A and B are shown apart, each in its own frame.
Chain A
Amino acid sequence: MLKIKNLHASVEDKAILRGINLEVKPGEVHAIMGPNGSGKSTLASVIAGKEEYEVTEGQILLNDEDIDELAAEERAHKGIFLSFQYPVEIPGVSVTNFMKTAINETRKAKGLEDMPANEMLKLIREKSELLEIDRKFLSRSLNEGFSGGEKKRNEIFQMAMLEPKLAILDETDSGLDIDALRIVANGVNKLKSKDNAVIVITHYQRLLDYIVPDFVHVLHNGRIVKSGGKELAHELEEKGYDWIKEEVKA
């Protein structure tokens, strides 16, 4: 599904990713861990198509198509979803209206008619129940005045609504208490299938107790320096990142 080959990316001429290689197949869950500043969020943003980041070398292939030239919305239409570490507040646009717009624009891009209103309502009801979201919440302005946990839950609600092929969860666990973490993880697990894939970006192992990865990669200085199974996450939790840094030096 996703193949990243020797990816180099920079922002304002500062190189952040320095040769990433990663392959994600349908049905897989990959965790990307690493110390602060290692390039985790940059990798997420580059895959999602943030324009400030410039790919200087290498390729991102989605189902064997190079997506470098595609705008963020086109990548979304092809099934890439990024759950933001810091979801943006958009006063004046309700959660519901935002989702209607996103879904219908995606359908338009695929040559489909707008989703009928009753179908939309049904979908919203179903997915908000999955994330245990109060209906009142849906008529509030997007992310405005939401608590950290509400913002993250809302991100996963959007993911549930859009049903992406590849979901990238950027630090979705930060700012979540344990109950919210369970709800979010439960939502993600229910959405998982053999046809879609998830990349979980996290600093801590905590979320990975709930969303169990098939592979764990450690990012350091813009490169994946170590990959392994889910036990690698436990090892990192116990020993921190210093030993990896030492290993890289050696």
Chain B
Amino acid sequence: MELKEKLISSFLAFENHVDIDSPIHDVRSEAIKIFETQGFPTKKEEAWKYTSLNSILKHDYSVFPKNENTIEYNDVKKYFIHDIDSYKIVFIDGKYSSHLSQTTHDGIDVCLMSSALNKPKYQLIIQNYFNKIASKDSLTSLNTAFSQEGAYIQIPKNKVVDKPIQIIHFSTGNESALMQQPRNLIVVNENSHVQIIERHQSLTENPVLTNSVTEIFANKRAIIDYYKVQNDNEHASLIDNTFINQKQESHCSVHTFSFGGKLTRNNLNFYQNGERIDSTLKGVTIIGNKQHVDHNTLVHHIEPNCESHQDYKGIFNDSSTGVFNGKVVVNKEAQKTNAFQANNNILVSDKASINTKPQLEIFADDVKCSHGCTIGQLDENAMFYMRSRGIPEKEAKGLLMYAFSNNVLNSVKIPEIKQRITKIIATKLGVNIGFDL
């Protein structure tokens, strides 16, 4: 059975487990219809021109894992940012793992989507926010149809969350192939501040496909720093659909570190609904072999006096392929917009490739918008300079590539993450740089 058909028939089975009288279920039913009509995207669609899902759709994925599974913290500790205290929302094969998690309802809600969808006390928030900014494309709709589990984070007004929140999804290989569709909802109210780390990690070589949707609402003057650590093994693929709605004077940043996975597609969408908003989108991609990473970003400037900063760096080795498609829309009303976009790439191997495409749609006349993309090899003069100081070719390359990606890390606000990422970068580049990163 084709995956599409399997998913559609699974939806009928899914309906037996959930409350079909709830208003959410109308949303789900609507969404499965969209998926049924549209199917999985193909390269014929402009937004998917350079990314083919064919190779990852051919597996016979389990949509609902049969068994509950447990893993020992010590076996997976390394995938956590474990040297700092944090809230944790952990899933194993799509199911919540209470023993690995540390949730809270003390002043803030760091808990589960399943409770938020089912418990009356969250109903108002679900009504106001759930599926309100997620787009109606086929993959997001597919996730919406099956939305049931994921992270639910709600921060009330005037609250600086005392420690970061980690959302981690493990897959154990209990199923010969697993498809997961986590659905996250994050609502941060006025003047509040939160830091979130998200990671997907497969623990075996069985194929995993994750189609994740995250809706984030930043209300007035909220500050949200979001870090996506994508360092999965080369049997796991991720389609990440993130939608961020910002109200006036809020600051949101998303850093996406893409080092692993077979195929990774990031659909990252910012909507600026207010004045003096700041949006930051940064990414470092370092891949090799036949890995594929696709960043598809949208920043929609709707109101005046807002800023957006995009800076994506990519290093592509072996036969890896990359895509950057960055769209910036500036509405007619959004005067005094400052929108910056940069995408710089280094192709280390002759077989690697990157397709980069900035797309600017500007309808206002008093704006500063800049974009630049570069694709290059390592600077020969810099290589000779370093080698003439006794630094061997491999280390010199590593140091140059580290330096290349370094400025994206400058805006990382959690030192432990910065440290972790620089270590991953050094390992990825196969260098032992002569100083502590």
Contact = CB atoms under 8 A, between A and B. Distances in A.
Interface of A: 45, 48-52, 71-73, 75-77, 80-82, 84, 87-88, 90-93, 96-98, 100-106, 109, 114, 141, 158, 162
21 contacts: A49-B387, A72-B384, A72-B388, A73-B388, A73-B391, A73-B392, A76-B388, A76-B389, A81-B389, A90-B382, A91-B406, A92-B402, A92-B403, A97-B435, A98-B399, A100-B434, A100-B435, A101-B395, A105-B390, A162-B389, A162-B390
Interface string B358-392: 00000000000000000000011110111111111
Contact of A106 (B379, B390, B433, B435): B390
Contacts of A88: 379, 381-382, 385
A90 B385 CA distance: 10
B388 A97 contact: no
Contact of B384 (A51, A92, A98, A105): A51
Contact of B387 (A71, A92, A104): A71
Contacts of B381: 88
B407 interface: yes
B409 to A, nearest CB: 9
Contacts of B403: 90-93, 141
A106 B379 CA distance: 22
Nearest to B381: A88
A93 B386 CA distance: 11
Contacts of A97: 433-435
A75 B389 CA distance: 9
Contacts of A102: 386, 389-391, 434
Contacts of A84: 385, 388
Interface string B101-113: 0000000000000
A241 B379 CA distance: 35
A109 B390 contact: yes
B382 A105 contact: no
A52 B380 contact: yes
* Interface of A: prevailing SS: helix
Most chain B CB neighbours (cut-off 10 Å) among A87, A88, A158: A88
Contacts of A93: 399, 402-403, 406
Contacts of A105: 390-392, 395, 434
Indicate the size class of the contact surface on chain B.
20 to 34
A76 B385 contact: no
B382 A73 contact: no
Most chain A CB neighbours (cut-off 10 Å) among B382, B390, B403: B390
A109 B403 CA distance: 24
B126 interface: no
B389 A98 contact: yes
Nearest to A99: B389
B246 to A, nearest CB: 30
A114 B406 CA distance: 24
A75 B390 CA distance: 8
Given A90-B403, A93-B402, A101-B395, 15 more contacts: A45-B384, A49-B388, A52-B380, A71-B387, A73-B389, A73-B391, A73-B396, A88-B379, A90-B385, A91-B403, A91-B406, A91-B407, A97-B433, A106-B390, A109-B390
Contacts of A103: 390, 434
B387 A76 contact: yes
B424 interface: no
B391 A101 contact: yes
B274 to A, nearest CB: 34
B407 A101 contact: no
Contacts of A92: 402-404, 406-407
A72 B391 CA distance: 9
Nearest to B379: A88
Most chain B CB neighbours (cut-off 10 Å) among A45, A51, A84, A101: A101
The 5 closest A-B pairs by CB, nearest first: A92-B403, A92-B406, A101-B434, A76-B390, A72-B387
